[in-house]
C-alpha cells in the first residue's frame, strides 16, 4: 500500500426508466405522489410500477484494458446531468475531467459511455460493483482509499482549507474546533490524523463543497473543510465565505480505477505523463503562443457572461465567442479556459496583468477604444465580425423615419457603452434626451425594457438585436447609425505570435462554412413563437395528434397527460422535426446528448421523443421533491426543463436573499429569475446569466394552456 502511495506521489442523475429493456428499473417510491386532477385540484395517486426491464447480469471483476479495447468504449461515471457544477468562470474541474478523459479515449480509438449518479459515494459504489471502469474527477488519495482502489498519477497537488462565513473570524488550530464534514469525505481522514483534538461533526448526507459552503454562509455550520481549488472556484462568484486556516499537509488528487487493474492504470498514467496534464491555479503570465503550446499550458480567453458571448443553457456551454475560440483552441491543440470579466475595463485589466491571453467578447473597434487599448499596451486583431449600430424602438411608439424625428425622444444608454458617443451626437445635433442607464444593466435588458414599454429608446448592435428579436416581436430598428462596425480580438502587444495565429484563423474561417453556421445559430435562427390555427380547439376535441402516445407514457410518472400536451405545443407546435439554434430537436425539443443518455435513438420518432421528454421532466421534478410543496413541483420542473436546473436553484437562492418565498414560483421565484438577467445578480449566481424572461413566460404559457385543456376535455 505504502509503495503505491509513494509511486503515485512521485509520478445522475440515476437513470430514469428508459424505453422498455434499456436499463435497470429504479425502485418505486413508497409514498404516493400528488398531481393535478382534471379540475386542477390535487389528487392523491397511487404509485405505479414502471415498465418491466431486462435483467442485467452483475460483473464480478473489473474490465482489464484488453476487454475495454475489445468493447470499444470506456464506462465512466459523473454526477447527475450536470456537465458543470457551475458556470465555468476561470476554468472548471468538471469540464477539465470530461475533456481530458475524452482526449484519452480519442487517442485510443474508444468512445465514452457515461453513467450518472447523485453523489460521490454512489460513484465509488459503481466502481466497486464493476459497473464503471473509472471515476474521472479530483479524488483525494488517502490511505483508506488506497486499500480499496488504485489511483492514477496526480492531476492536482493541493491544500485543504477550513472555511467560515465571511467577516471577522478568530480561528486557532490549537482550540477544540468543531468541524462539520459530509459522511464519506476524505476530509474526515485528514482532520482526524492532523488535528485529532478537533471535534468532527459528521453530516449524514453526501453533499458537495458548494452545499457545505451554502450551509456555512447561512450560519448553519460554523466551519467545514474543502479543497483549495474548490475554494478558488467558489470565490469566482461568491463573497459570503472565506478561508480561515490551511491544513499543512498537501494532498494529491487523481482519478480512481479498480484495485489492481494494472493494465488500464498503465494506459492512463502513460497518457498523463505524456501530456503533462497537472492542473493548477495559474499565476500571472504573459508568454507568447509558441511557448504556451510548448509548455502545454491552457489558452485563457477573457469574455463576458452574456447571450452574445458565453452562457450556460440546459447544461450546455454556448455562445458565439465561445464557439469560435473553442475552434481556435482545437485547431492548435490547446486546452481552452474561459475567464469571465464583469466589465470592459476589467477585461483590459485582466489581459494587461497576464491573467488572460485573449479578449473575445464582441468588442467593437472604435476610435475612442483604440486609444485606450494602445495606452494599455494592447493591440487588436483584424476584423472577425461586423455589425450595424441601430436604434431600438417599440413597434407601437411614434414613428421615426429620420434623425430629426428624435427630437424630444428619450434614449437610455450606459456611459461605458460603445454607443455613448453616438448618443451624445444625437442629443447635440437632433435634440434627443439622453438618460444614463445603471452600469449593471446590460444592453439586452435595455432592449427588453423597450419591448415592455418601460423606456422609450436605446441603441444596440445588430447581432444582439437579432437575438432579442427572436424572443421579442415588439421591437423594431427604425434607424441605422453606423454600418460595418468591426469586432476585433485583443491581445498584448508583446504577444505577436498569438496575434499572427488569430489573424490567420480569421482569414481562413471568416465567412466560411463553419463561421456562418455558428453565426446563423446565434443571430439569425428564427425562433419567434407564432400562433397556429391548425389545432384550434373546441370542447371535446382532440388536443393533439399524439394524445394517445402521451397518455401511455405519463401513467408511470403520474403526470396529467394534458400538461404534457400543453408543454409539447410550447416546445414544438406539434412539429416532430422542429429544431432550434442550440440543437434541441423533436416534439419535446430534447438535446441529442440528453436523449442519447436516456436511451433514445431517434428524436424524429414521436413515441421516443415524447418518452424522453416525460422522463426528463420527471427527473427535474424529483430534484425538487424534498423541499417544495407538491403543487409547486410542476412549475419548478417546467422552469428547469426550459432553462436548466442550476438556473432555477440560483433563482431560489436569490429569492431567499430578497425576502421572497423560495418554495413558490409565481410572484416569488419567478421575480428572482427575471433579476438573473441583470449583472449585479448573475455575477454572484452559481450558474451565471440566464434569459429569465424565457422560463417565466414558458411556465405561465404552459399553465394557462393547461387550464384551457382541462376545461375543453372535462
Active-site positions read 571
Region class of 302: left (phi > 0), else alpha (psi between -120 and 50), else beta: beta
**Cβ proximity of 627 and 663 under 8 Å:** yes
Residue 551 CB coordination number (10 Å): 13
**How far is 55 from 69, CA to CA, in rounded Å?**
25
**179 sits in which H/E element:** strand 178-182
Partner residues linked to 226 by β-bridges: 161
The SS3 call for residue 219 is: coil
Q: Are 439 and 424 in contact (CB under 8 A)?
A: no
Reference 280, options 340, 337, 360, 342; nearest CA is 337
Buried b (16+ CB within 10 A) or exposed e, 100-128: bbbebbeeeebebbbbbbebbebbbebbe
Please report, to the nearest 10 degrees, the dihedral formed by the alpha carbons of residues 656, 658, 663, 668 taken in order. -170
Q: Nearest Cα to 457, choosing from 408, 421, 416, 524? A: 408
Q: Hey, which bits of 416-524 come out as E strands?
A: 433-436, 458-461, 475-476, 480-487, 490-492
Neighbours of 203 (CB within 10 A): 17
No. of helices (H) and no. of strands (E), the chain: 27, 26
Cα–Cα nearest to 672, from 656, 688, 689, 694 = 656
- Cβ(358)–Cβ(502) below 8 Å: yes
Beta strand segments in 219-287, E: 224-227, 241-246, 251-258
DSSP state of 90: B
Hey, what's the cell of 519? 453565426
> Collapsing DSSP states into helix, strand and coil, what is residue 394?
strand
Confirm if 149 and 258 have CB atoms less than 8 A apart: yes
Say whether 149 sits in a helix, a strand or coil.
Answer: strand
Q: How far is Cα 486 from Cα 510, in angstroms, rounded to an integer?
A: 13
Q: What are phi and psi of 200, to 5 degrees?
A: -100, 120
User: Whose CA is closest to 94, among 646, 679, 643?
Assistant: 646
74, containing H or E segment: strand 73-79
Kindly report the CA angle at 505 between 502 and 508, in degrees rounded to 5? 150
Amino acid at each position: 500500500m505504502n509503495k503505491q502511495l509513494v509511486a503515485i506521489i512521485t509520478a445522475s442523475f440515476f437513470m430514469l426508466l428508459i424505453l422498455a429493456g434499456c436499463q435497470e428499473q429504479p425502485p418505486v417510491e413508497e409514498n404516493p405522489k400528488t398531481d393535478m386532477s382534471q379540475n386542477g385540484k390535487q389528487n392523491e395517486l397511487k404509485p405505479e410500477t414502471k415498465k418491466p426491464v431486462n435483467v442485467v447480469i452483475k460483473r464480478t471483476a473489473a474490465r482489464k484494458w484488453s476487454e475495454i479495447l475489445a468493447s470499444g468504449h470506456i464506462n465512466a461515471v459523473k454526477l447527475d446531468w450536470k456537465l458543470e457544477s457551475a458556470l465555468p468562470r476561470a476554468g472548471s474541474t468538471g469540464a477539465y475531467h470530461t475533456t481530458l478523459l475524452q482526449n484519452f479515449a480519442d487517442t485510443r480509438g474508444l468512445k465514452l459511455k457515461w453513467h450518472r449518479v447523485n453523489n460521490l459515494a454512489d460513484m465509488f459504489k459503481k466502481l466497486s460493483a464493476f459497473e464503471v471502469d473509472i471515476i474521472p474527477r479530483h479524488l483525494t488519495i488517502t490511505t483508506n482509499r488506497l486499500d480499496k482502489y488504485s489511483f492514477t498519477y496526480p492531476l492536482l497537488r493541493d491544500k485543504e482549507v477550513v472555511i467560515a462565513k465571511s467577516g471577522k473570524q478568530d480561528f486557532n488550530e490549537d482550540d477544540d474546533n468543531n468541524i462539520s464534514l459530509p459522511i464519506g469525505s476524505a476530509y474526515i481522514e485528514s482532520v482526524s490524523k492532523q488535528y485529532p483534538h478537533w471535534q468532527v461533526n459528521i453530516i449524514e448526507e453526501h453533499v458537495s463543497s458548494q452545499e457545505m459552503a451554502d450551509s456555512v454562509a447561512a450560519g448553519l455550520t460554523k466551519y467545514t473543510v474543502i479543497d483549495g481549488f474548490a475554494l478558488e472556484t467558489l470565490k469566482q462568484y461568491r463573497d459570503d465565505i472565506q478561508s480561515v486556516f490551511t491544513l499543512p499537509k498537501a494532498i494529491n488528487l487523481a482519478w480512481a480505477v479498480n484495485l489492481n487493474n494494472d493494465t488500464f492504470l498503465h494506459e492512463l498514467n502513460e497518457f498523463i505523463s505524456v501530456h503533462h496534464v497537472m492542473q493548477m491555479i495559474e499565476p500571472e503570465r504573459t508568454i507568447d503562443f509558441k511557448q504556451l503550446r510548448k509548455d502545454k499550458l491552457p489558452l485563457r480567453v477573457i469574455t463576458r457572461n452574456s447571450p452574445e458571448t458565453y452562457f450556460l443553457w440546459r447544461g450546455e456551454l454556448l455562445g458565439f465567442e465561445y464557439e469560435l475560440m473553442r475552434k481556435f483552441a482545437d485547431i492548435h491543440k490547446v486546452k481552452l479556459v474561459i475567464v469571465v470579466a464583469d466589465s470592459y475595463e476589467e477585461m483590459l485589466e485582466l489581459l494587461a496583468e497576464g491573467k488572460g491571453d485573449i479578449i473575445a467578447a464582441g468588442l467593437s473597434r472604435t476610435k475612442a477604444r483604440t486609444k485606450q487599448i494602445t495606452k494599455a499596451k494592447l493591440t487588436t486583431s483584424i476584423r472577425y465580425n461586423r455589425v450595424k449600430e441601430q436604434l431600438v424602438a417599440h413597434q407601437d411608439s411614434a414613428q421615426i423615419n429620420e434623425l430629426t424625428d428624435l427630437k424630444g425622444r428619450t434614449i437610455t444608454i450606459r456611459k461605458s457603452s460603445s454607443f455613448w458617443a453616438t448618443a451624445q451626437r444625437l442629443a447635440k445635433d437632433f435634440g434627443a434626451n439622453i438618460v444614463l442607464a445603471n452600469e449593471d444593466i446590460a444592453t439586452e435588458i435595455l432592449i427588453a425594457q423597450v419591448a415592455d414599454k418601460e423606456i422609450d429608446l436605446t441603441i444596440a448592435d445588430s447581432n444582439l438585436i437579432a437575438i432579442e428579436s427572436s424572443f421579442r416581436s415588439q421591437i423594431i430598428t427604425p434607424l441605422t447609425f453606423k454600418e460595418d462596425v468591426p469586432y476585433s480580438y485583443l491581445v498584448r502587444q508583446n504577444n505577436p505570435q498569438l496575434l499572427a495565429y488569430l489573424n490567420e484563423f480569421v482569414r481562413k474561417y471568416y465567412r466560411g462554412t463553419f463561421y456562418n453556421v455558428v453565426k446563423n445559430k446565434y443571430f439569425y435562427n428564427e425562433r419567434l413563437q407564432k400562433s397556429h390555427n391548425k389545432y384550434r380547439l373546441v370542447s371535446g376535441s382532440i388536443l393533439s395528434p399524439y394524445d394517445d402516445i402521451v397518455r401511455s407514457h405519463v401513467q408511470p410518472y403520474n403526470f396529467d397527460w394534458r400538461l404534457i400536451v400543453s408543454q409539447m405545443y410550447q416546445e414544438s407546435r406539434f412539429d416532430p422535426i422542429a429544431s432550434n439554434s442550440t440543437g434541441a430537436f423533436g416534439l419535446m425539443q430534447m438535446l441529442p446528448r440528453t436523449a442519447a443518455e436516456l436511451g433514445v435513438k431517434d428524436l424524429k420518432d414521436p413515441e421516443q421523443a415524447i418518452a424522453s421528454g416525460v422522463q426528463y421532466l420527471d427527473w427535474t421534478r424529483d430534484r425538487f421533491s424534498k423541499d417544495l410543496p407538491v403543487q409547486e413541483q410542476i412549475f419548478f420542473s417546467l422552469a428547469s426543463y426550459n432553462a436548466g436546473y442550476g438556473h432555477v436553484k440560483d433563482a431560489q437562492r436569490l429569492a431567499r436573499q430578497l425576502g421572497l418565498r423560495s418554495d413558490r414560483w409565481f410572484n416569488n421565484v419567478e421575480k428572482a429569475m427575471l433579476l438573473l438577467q441583470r449583472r449585479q445578480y448573475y455575477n454572484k449566481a452559481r450558474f451565471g446569466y440566464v434569459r429569465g424572461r424565457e422560463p417565466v413566460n414558458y411556465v405561465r404559457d404552459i399553465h394557462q394552456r393547461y387550464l384551457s385543456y382541462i376545461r375543453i376535455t372535462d
